[in-house]
Amino acid sequence: MVSEIDNIELRVATKEDAKNAQAEIDFILNNNGDETVTGLRDELQQCMTDNAGAFRTGESLEIAIAKVKELHKRFKNIRIKDKSKLFNTELQEAIEFGHMLDYSAFIVESAIARKESRGAHYREDFESRDDENFLKHTMAYMDDKGDIRLDYMAVKLGKHELKPRTY
Amino acid sequence: MSTHNINTQKVNFKVFRFNADVDYLPYYEDYTMEVTSEEVVLDILNRIKWDLDGSFSYRRSCRHGICGACAIKLNGRATLACKENMNDMIKLFGNDITLEPLSIKRAVKDMIIDKADFWQKHDAVKPYLISDIDEYPEHEHLVSPKQAEELDDADLCIQCGACHYACPVVEINDEFFGPAAFAKAYRFEADVRDEAGTERLTEMHKEAQGVWDCVKCFECAEACPKDINPIGKITKLHLMLFDKGLATSTVASRHAVGFKNSIAKHGMLDEGTLVLYSEGPSIIKHIPVALQMFRKGKIVLPWNMPKSDNLDEIQKLVKSSSTAKF
């Protein structure tokens, strides 16, 4: 296990990455809209709890993805009060919220595609595990427009025997 | 079935505001809120930031009393914000509540302070196990429950800084290690696996920075949210210094011994002789104070010093409880 860490390839950061990160901060500090991060975050939290918790259905997940997309748009219209460079925890919370939106989209899109139940992903419309179609890792990629493309990777078996959960 | 009612009441908060980048002087902002009986102080900080003013700044992390980030002062009382229930605070102080950082002179932004001095002192007491550890041990280094009890909960410290910034000596003496650092030093001195010998304790004995400058006011014990009782650890360090023969004759250690001598001789404190014993010839600088004390009857001439009743019993107690030689 530990030795596998050495084989992980990490992408080398570019100047472009630094520019993107700086642009993200500049946007949050300077944008002059009328939404608050706290307000949007409350809506996201409530929506994800209601619709994308351990027990979810295709229907609830569609509600969730629509809400996440809506919040993504409204996030472009935020304003924070704290413009200071000193201990700016309001800026920090806004950056975190932007990332929460991205991860919420990853979670929901992956869950919509996985039409089975497995572990903490319990689809009430597909209650059993489907090894034939879904014994695979979900890989999700977001493009510049915020659209998510899904891909799958084979599970390396061998350590644990594959058997139905009967407890 | 027990009934548990959630009630709310109106509380006026006066909140310290300061941004070292832009403000010349700090100021106070007033907020009035309906506070429910379920809320802790940290909930109030969150509500100020999330509902009323996003620029309000404070440290927080774990929200269950283990990270030590959210310690502030509430009506001057050191308070771990995530631990204290608002209802209890209202019972203590009424409905007008002032929120301030632990140390106003170290304020950086609102509740956030510069804790550099706290960490420097923490590091200075060698807050780690000093031991020649076998790199490839064949078995664990067992510590019995009884030996572990010797730590006396000193290992529960979360380094919130509440005691440090409640300590009046820290406030006026920049060199004084302060209660948190002493509790940490004790935590390792009391550890059976520690082999520091005298190197850590010698630092504890130094004038100005060491344990002798503690004024025994018990503020640290009051302030500690984990009930660690730092002053108890300071007293234990005093005893360790005597036990290990490291308490060389200084004004501070003589002061401690002078108390014992006075009790052994009179059964009560003879303030005049105590100071003479501690300070030696330099007592001369205290003459103006001594004259005032004499006039008020606080000190008496040596031949007029009264003796306590049952002095023989007191002397027996002193004898049986003294373990260290000086």
Domain range list for chain B? 9-113, 116-131+144-243, 251-321
Least confident of A3-7, B58-62, B85-89, B149-153: A3-7
Q: Determine, for residues B109 and A85 on separate chains, whether the beta-carbon distance falls below 8 Å.
A: no
What's the rounded mean pLDDT across residues A51-68? 97
Q: Which residue in the block uniquely carries the two structure tokens 């659209």?
A: A147
Predicted TM-score (pTM) of the model is: 0.87
Q: Where are the beta strands (DSSP E) in B101-254?
A: 107-109, 112-113
Residue B2 pLDDT: 60
Q: Per residue in B238-295, pLDDT tens? A: 999 998 988 888 888 888 888 888 888 888 888 888 888 888 888 888 888 888 888 8
3-state SS track over B165-195 = CCCHHHHHCCCCCCHHHHHHHHHHHCCCCCC
Report residue B133's pLDDT band, with 50, 70 and 90 as the boundaries. confident
Q: Is B71:B118 a contact under the CB 8 Å cutoff?
A: no
DSSP symbols for A84-145? -SSS-HHHHHHHHHHHHHHHHHHHHHHHHH--S-BTTBEETTB-S--HHHH-EEEEEEE-TT
Is pLDDT above 90 for B127?
yes
Residue B1 pLDDT: 52
Q: Is B14:B98 a contact under the CB 8 Å cutoff?
A: yes
Q: Is B182:B170 a contact under the CB 8 Å cutoff?
A: no
Which of B21, B43, B49, B55 would you mutate first to test chain A, the one with the most A CBs within 10 A? Answer: B55
| CA neighbor of B51 nearest in space, from B28, B70, B25, B32 | B32
What is the rounded distance in angstroms from the CA atom of residue B108 to the CA atom of residue B103? 10
Q: Per residue in A82-141, pLDDT tens? A: 999 999 999 999 999 999 999 999 999 999 999 999 999 999 999 999 999 999 999 999
Q: Is B34:B47 a contact under the CB 8 Å cutoff?
A: no
Of chain B, the end-to-end C-alpha distance in Å amounts to 63
Quick count: other Cβ atoms within 10 Å of Cβ A85?
10
Sequence-distant (≥ 6) Cβ neighbours of residue A19 within 8 angstroms: none
What's the rounded mean pLDDT across residues A46-74? 97
Task: Sketch out chain A's domains with CATH numbers.
Answer: 14-127 (1.20.58.100)
Q: What is the CATH number of domain B9-113?
A: 3.10.20.30
What is the rounded distance in angstroms from the CA atom of residue B326 to the CA atom of residue B243? 9
What is the rounded distance in angstroms from the CA atom of residue B172 to the CA atom of residue B208? 11
Q: Using alpha carbons only, what angle is made at residue B12 by residues B6 and B15, rounded to the nearest 5 degrees?
A: 120
Q: Show the tokens assigned to B219.
A: 């503020």
In chain B, positions 147-206, which contact chain A (CB-CB < 8 Å)? none
- Residues from A contacting B (CB-CB < 8 Å) are 36-38, 80-82, 84-90
Residue A1 pLDDT: 65
Q: What is the CATH number of domain B116-131+144-243?
A: 1.10.1060.10
Report residue B308's pLDDT band, with 50, 70 and 90 as the boundaries. confident
A85, A87, A90 ranked by CB distance to B54: nearest:
A90
